[in-house]
Amino acid sequence: MLMNAASKISEKEVEHIANLARIELTEEEKRNFTEQFNTILEYFEIINDLDTEDVPPTSHVLDVTNAFREDKVSPSLAVEEVLKNASKKERGFFKAPKII
């Protein structure tokens, strides 16, 4: 893909991405966000000035790769503690909206 060809984000794309993120937007928000995202993304693209051809990515600054521990059973939270913040629960379960 060309670096700058797709730099402008359309209202349709904002709607699509918001849907992927499971966030409903009003028409006004769609307009505002689209305008703001274009300004923000345009600025962000100054990072393209840097040549990163042979540069590896840094997702994490620590040298630690894996932190293992013994597989020992320890106490976990009681069911009522786990459920106490749920808006709906039934017979020791979280109650979620209907899926099918």
Q: Rule CB under 8 A: which residues touch other proteins?
A: 1, 3, 6, 9, 13-14, 17-25, 29, 33, 36-37, 39-41, 43-50, 52, 55-62, 64, 67, 69, 77, 81-82, 84-88, 94-99
Q: Could you identify the residue written with the tokens 């976990």?
A: 76
CB of 27 to other proteins, least distance (A): 13
CB of 31 to other proteins, least distance (A): 13
One-character DSSP codes across 28-79: HHHHHHHHHHHHHHHHHGGGGGS--TTPPP-S-SSS---------------H
CB contact set of 41 (below 8 Å; sequence gap of 6+) = 7, 9
CB of 55 to other proteins, least distance (A): 4
